[in-house]
Structure 1
């Protein structure tokens, strides 16, 4: 078995009025939120995909399909915890996460510590092994126009053996 594996995750959802904006399990005050089958937490979704990909276990849609009523309005931290357990069962453990949220507004820097803490708790990591960065799209494309938001993540797994 390979000692180290990396995985890349990406997610995008539409921004709509009347929905909560949840990132990494943290509710962010905002007039606009993310639309989706679950809580539409793009950050948790991107990290989940990165973990599953690194472990060679497919993607988020295979494990948590949006056609399954079990996942309707689900807390996406459940996806993260399940992906971490699946990777662990496959002989891996998460070493670190580096993620970026791309969103025009609201500004997120004041929420960084809470998001990192939430992710670290869910993934059984030290907070310093969870990096979260925030970017805008400089008014370009659907993210820059305030129509959607995106998240990207990379994780490193190591073999437990």
Structure 2
């Protein structure tokens, strides 16, 4: 077994869709980034890559490469699945946390879980996503951005 941790954060800006866990969430702002800026999937990608000893998401999908401009992060997650499979590994389980003051994310967690499980070829019971606020403290509390943490357990196939 191998354990990996991932963390990502992006600023909230007007004029962008808010996409988390592959779900478009109604909100007045979205996350700024080269891709769709899905911090949850990016944190999970980093955790998987780290556990497999394959670096991080920036090494595999650099923001200087135009092919990743506005890309759906679910496509990146599926590529990460292939990369870790190339090392003889598969995801055992994921525990993740979204950090956002707004919007309320709980109504969307089930669909996020379904998306991530489908992309990684694992059961939804193997994916856990929590959402929390920072009680109006820090950048998330001021609604300047959203962050995500993920811990992943990889197992040999």
Q: Identify the residue that residue 102 of structure 1 maps to in structure 2.
A: 99
Provide the C-alpha distance between the structure 1 equivalents of 2:105 and 2:146, rounded to a whole number of angstroms: 12
Q: Identify the residue that residue 63 of structure 2 maps to in structure 1.
A: 66
RMSD across aligned positions (CA) = 0.6
Aligned residues: 157
2:39 to 36, 39, 42: 42
Pairs within 5 Å for 1:7-22: 7-22=4-19
Deviations 1:39-97 (A, max 9, x none): 00000000000000000001000000000000000000111111111101111011111
Matched, 1:138 2:135: yes
Which stretches of structure 1, 4 residues or more, deviate above 4 A after TM superposition? none
1:123 to 120, 124, 140: 120
Structure 2: gaps of 5 or more residues: none
Pairs within 5 Å for 1:23-38: 23-38=20-35
The CA deviation at 1:25 is 0.6
1:90 to 87, 90, 93: 87
Provide the C-alpha distance between the structure 2 equivalents of 1:103 and 1:143, rounded to a whole number of angstroms: 5
TM-score by length of 1: 0.96
Provide the C-alpha distance between the structure 2 equivalents of 1:104 and 1:32, rounded to a whole number of angstroms: 13
The CA deviation at 1:137 is 1.0
